[in-house]
Structure 1
Amino acid sequence: MDFDFTWVLLGFPIAFTLGWLASRIDLRQLRIENRQAPKAYFRGLNFLLNEQQDQAIDAFIEAVQNDPDTSELHFALGNLFRRRGEYERAVRVHEHLMSRGDLAQPERDRAQHALALDFLKAGLLDRAEAALRKLEGTSYEEEARLALLSIYERSRDWQHATEIASKLDSTSHGSFSGRQAHYLCEQASAALAAGDADKALGDLLEACRLAPALARPLIDLAKLHNQRGQPQAALDALLKLDKTAPQALPLAASLLVNMAQNQAMRAPVIELLKTHYARMPSVDVMDALVRLDQNPASARQWYIQHLEREASLIAASRWVAGEALGTEQNHKLVQRALDHATKPLMRYRCAACGFEATQHFWHCPGCQAWDSYPARRIEELYP
């Protein structure tokens, strides 16, 4: 039977017409979707730029309802909830993203990181730790480790903090050896409180090895040697401190005074204090020299010597305390006023956040920064 080409010729225009109609229907549907979904999205963006967060959230929720598969809208919505402190809603958004089976691995890692931040901001440290641990081996690994380090520092879990700091030190561009040394000092303090002086000594020696220029391990080591009846070893540690971190020696001034109660150590301790004061005069070293000077007249001369080098209200107040100013009653009034004025000047101030304290901190209780407290008093920092 012969094939009839007439049907083929008739089929071409029919197929073309059907294809054209189908394309018009698809284009029309696409235009409708583009008019609907982005409209809510851009409205939300406009609200966000105008800092109208409530209206922005409503607009983004509408956009997500119109297109629930849009992950970027979920992330934007979750971040908005977190910024507003609505952590429970932020968690729900990010957990919904995690439950989607069609989510690509990079987006899943991003959602896991966002979920961890939700828990961290909400103060749910256990859940935040578990969520951050799941980011090992992802592109968010370093950020997760830094967050874990913050969690362990806040909870004073120094063993896990050491583990994370060691990983960061081996992979990061920065050095975390200083922090590891501080963690070892914290562990040494805990061991000493538990009566394990040998472990404390081992931790401090390791801290000195990790960060030889850090002041804290040497000061803590000197304290431990002095407690164990080894004053010469304590002095050797402080002599090393005077070479590697001389600005921190005033923090050990009271310890040096205590060591000088041993007559065999008195002369070398005074010599160390005098040589250091000649290079870097400070209120604490001046006080130590006054306390160790057995001659009251020459002891008071240290205040005058300090005033010749620095305009110090603290030194002036100490000198006035030993002078006769008219009647005894007037002297007490003047001294009380001076003591009140010098009290704020004797504080330490964090260089990172400005938190002030009467004692020196290695770890700022305000901003959690390490080594942010200078070893000098406020008066010496801002003369």
Structure 2
Amino acid sequence: MDFDPSWLLIGLPVAFVLGWLASRFDIRQLKLENRQAPKAYFRGLNFLLNEQQDQAIDAFIEAVQNDPDTQELHFALGNLFRRRGEYQRAVRVHEHLLGRGDLSRVDRERAQHALAQDFLRAGLLDRAEAALQKLEGTRYENEARLALLAIYERSREWAQAADVAQKLDESDQASYSTRRAHHLCEQANERVAAGDLPGANALLTQARALAPQAPRPAIDTATLQLRNGEAAAAFDTLEGLSDTAPLALPLYAASLQKAAIAAHREGEALALLQRRYAESPSIDVLEALIALGGTPAAPEATDAPVEAPTPRDSYIAHLAHQPSLVAASRWLAGERFEHEQFHPQVQRALDQATRPLMRYRCAACGFEAHQYFWHCPGCQAWDSYPPRRVEEL
């Protein structure tokens, strides 16, 4: 069958008309979608400003459906989900962004950072750790390292925490030497628990060199020296610490007293404790003085016979410095009353009343504990506990 050229004269105009109609339809549809997307976006923004998060999320979802290539809408939607506690939906939004091949490097890093925040807020620390590690070498590097440091400290992974803190220290953003010393002390405690005393001593030596002004490395070193029977070395360690960290003396006054007795250096310890007590009275320092048989003040030189003070007299002397229910209770424990049969009941009531006063309180979050913590279990802050009891604050 021969081809008839006349069909070209008919087909070409028809094809042109159909193509023109199709293009007009596409343009009209595109304009309609573009009009719908901004309207939904601004409607969502208005809801957000009016703190109507449910309506804002619905509007942003509509905008994303109309224009799925808009990254900013995805980020806004993901942040809204995270603020509302809908972490699973936030994760899906940010993982969808990361799965796109046309995402720029800046937006990819931003999505990775947002995904890590989703996992952190959801408490999925293992997945947050993996997401944060992928931010190494990006503009979010230091922020990611700080988050990783918090994760490792919370989970007590001290070796990993020490590595991250060292990187932060080397970045010159801030000094982390004291914090790194804490990590070494924590590792040393683990070595002591495992029976590796030489390894613990090596870690404490590193900690003291890293933060010579910090009290904890010296206190932990003296504790280890006492455990090894090195009383004289423990006393020397704590005596030196009394010059570099005198305000922390209440924390190690009892250890200083034990080391002095074991090393037969009671006279030196008494003189040191009396001098520091005069500068800053404390119930813990007072207890160490009494255990050594001393008093808050050195005896005055006189020819007249003076009755030797008793430990109970030291509590009365302490009350002259500051009002203390604890000191009053300790003094009353040895007092003789007319109705002696009621003394045990009264003493038990006083002891119960003074027990909360002997706690330590975190200055950052107010968490109280009978034990002194270098790392607050409540707010995870370091060195947030003053070295004094609640009564003395």
User: After the TM superposition, which of the residue ranges 262-271 and 104-113 deviates more from structure 2?
Assistant: 262-271
How many angstroms apart in 1 are the aligned matches of 2:222 and 2:357?
28
**1:34, CA displacement in angstroms?**
4.9
**2:353 corresponds to which of 322, 326, 341:** 341
Q: In the alignment, what sits opposite 1:354?
A: 366
**Secondary structure, counterpart of 1:373 in structure 2:** coil
Residue 259 of structure 1 aligns with an amino acid whose one-letter code is A
User: After the TM superposition, which of the residue ranges 283-292 and 259-268 deviates more from structure 2?
Assistant: 259-268
Residue 229 of structure 1 aligns with an amino acid whose one-letter code is G
Superposition RMSD in Å: 2.3
**1:256, CA displacement in angstroms?**
2.3
1:183-231 deviation digits (Å, cap 9, x = unpaired): 0001111111111111111111110111111110010011111111111
Contact 1:201 1:224 in 2 (8 A): yes
How many angstroms apart in 2 are the aligned matches of 1:270 and 1:194?
35
Q: In the alignment, what sits opposite 2:159?
A: 159
Runs of 4+ in 1 over 6 A off after TM superposition: 24-31
**Secondary structure, counterpart of 2:264 in structure 1:** helix
Contact 1:225 1:234 in 2 (8 A): yes
How many angstroms apart in 2 are the aligned matches of 1:322 and 1:302?
12
1:4-27 deviation digits (Å, cap 9, x = unpaired): xxxxxxxxxxxxxxxxxxxx9999
The 1:64/1:354 distance shift into structure 2, 3 A limit, reads same
**1:294, CA displacement in angstroms?**
7.8
How many angstroms apart in 1 are the aligned matches of 2:357 and 2:114?
44
Equivalent residues, number: 361
Residue 213 of structure 1 aligns with an amino acid whose one-letter code is Q
Q: In the alignment, what sits opposite 2:185?
A: 185
Contact 1:231 1:265 in 2 (8 A): no
Contact 1:364 1:370 in 2 (8 A): yes
Alignment of 1:325 onto 2:354: no
Contact 1:44 1:60 in 2 (8 A): yes
The 1:156/1:263 distance shift into structure 2, 3 A limit, reads closer
How many angstroms apart in 1 are the aligned matches of 2:57 and 2:172?
37
TM-score (norm 2): 0.86
TM-score (norm 1): 0.89
What percentage of aligned pairs have identical amino acids?
65
Q: In the alignment, what sits opposite 2:301?
A: none
**Structure 1 unaligned residues grouped into runs of 5+:** 1-23
How many angstroms apart in 2 are the aligned matches of 1:60 and 1:263?
74
Contact 2:117 2:128 in 1 (8 A): yes
Q: In the alignment, what sits opposite 1:301?
A: 313
Alignment of 1:365 onto 2:377: yes
Q: In the alignment, what sits opposite 2:238?
A: 238
Counting only pairs closer than 5 Å after superposition, residues 33-182 of structure 1 correspond to structure 2 as 33-182=33-182
Counting only pairs closer than 5 Å after superposition, residues 199-214 of structure 1 correspond to structure 2 as 199-214=199-214
How many angstroms apart in 1 are the aligned matches of 2:277 and 2:215?
18
How many angstroms apart in 1 are the aligned matches of 2:126 and 2:234?
41
Residue 306 of structure 1 aligns with an amino acid whose one-letter code is H
**Secondary structure, counterpart of 1:262 in structure 2:** helix
Contact 1:274 1:289 in 2 (8 A): yes
Contact 1:40 1:62 in 2 (8 A): yes
**1:373, CA displacement in angstroms?**
0.4
Contact 2:363 2:386 in 1 (8 A): yes
How many angstroms apart in 2 are the aligned matches of 1:216 and 1:294?
27
How many angstroms apart in 1 are the aligned matches of 2:169 and 2:139?
17
How many angstroms apart in 1 are the aligned matches of 2:34 and 2:88?
31
Alignment of 1:315 onto 2:343: no
**1:162, CA displacement in angstroms?**
0.8
**1:320, CA displacement in angstroms?**
1.4
Residue 368 of structure 1 aligns with an amino acid whose one-letter code is Q
1:320-341 deviation digits (Å, cap 9, x = unpaired): 1111232123333432332222
**1:292, CA displacement in angstroms?**
2.4
Contact 1:44 1:55 in 2 (8 A): yes
**1:87, CA displacement in angstroms?**
1.4
**Secondary structure, counterpart of 2:388 in structure 1:** coil
**Structure 2 unaligned residues grouped into runs of 5+:** 1-23, 296-307
How many angstroms apart in 1 are the aligned matches of 2:354 and 2:45?
54
Residue 331 of structure 2 aligns with an amino acid whose one-letter code is W
Alignment of 1:268 onto 2:280: no
Residue 233 of structure 1 aligns with an amino acid whose one-letter code is A
**1:90, CA displacement in angstroms?**
0.9
**Secondary structure, counterpart of 2:265 in structure 1:** helix
Q: In the alignment, what sits opposite 2:14?
A: none
How many angstroms apart in 2 are the aligned matches of 1:212 and 1:322?
42
Residue 390 of structure 2 aligns with an amino acid whose one-letter code is I
How many angstroms apart in 2 are the aligned matches of 1:78 and 1:172?
33
**Secondary structure, counterpart of 2:136 in structure 1:** coil
